[in-house]
Structure 1
Amino acid sequence: MGRLILALILLFSLSQAQDVYKAVFDCAVGDLDWVSKRISLIRKTADSLIREGKDYSFVLTIHSHCIGIVEGNLKKVPPKKAEKIKFIQSQLQTLRDHYDVEVKACDIALKRGKIKKMPKFIERVPNSWITLIELQNKGYAFVPF
């Protein structure tokens, strides 16, 4: 009887652990309007899961042509582009603060883009591809944009 209870507890624990929706969203594009729309979809996806009472763990990796969205010194960016980046950064801050989405920027891309300053809520990772591989090995779905 004790083994049956232990088996049921183990089975229940495993089924609960699998109910976490895990995704790593990978931003490599430079089209700021497109990036903003994709970030909005991440928020809407989290909202849907919250409404359904489902747990999630989301990570957003930023590299390549997308790295400009983490520029902390917007004075070196043309005004119209700076306005879009500022809005995207507010979207990212909302994802981080209200949805617990981890936001990670690739150090290789930061160096290539000569970005020295970025918002404090964004984590610098040595290599976003390694981060992607690690997360996929942990069961995160890969969602590129």
Structure 2
Amino acid sequence: MKILIETGRLADQAVDALVIYGFADSELSGAAQVLDEALGGALKDLMDSGDFSGKAGQVAVLYPRGVIPTRRVLAVGLGPTDQLTVDIIRQVAAQAVQKASELKARTMASALIGTDGIPAAEGAEAVAEGALLGLY
């Protein structure tokens, strides 16, 4: 697997699977909020309906139908904000890759994960490690 680190808007990524992460105890913010706006509120609707709670490891699939250039969006739960660890990031990134593989996705983009306790660089490293583990 080839892993690239690039900057840009998630909503502009032309990939088979776009991964966005959500917490169980918080509203959409940052990249998730921007992506939700591009999707016309579909992520918020998914959460409001109870179909996605943000529980660690939960994966929900959305099909943007041409609204953005990606074929599908994978919403992946991180659990409660105060319980997030590098190990959890690694585990949920692996689950996201496994789901993307199950859906026959060949290309994938992911949001960065960073909090007050976990710097974005450390979160990016955990996502990359989890992605590699998810392929086995």
Is TM > 0.5 for Structure 1 vs Structure 2?
no
**Higher strand share goes to which structure?**
1
**Higher helix share goes to which structure?**
1
Query: Which structure has the larger Rg?
Result: 1
TM-score by length of 1: 0.29
TM-score by length of 2: 0.30
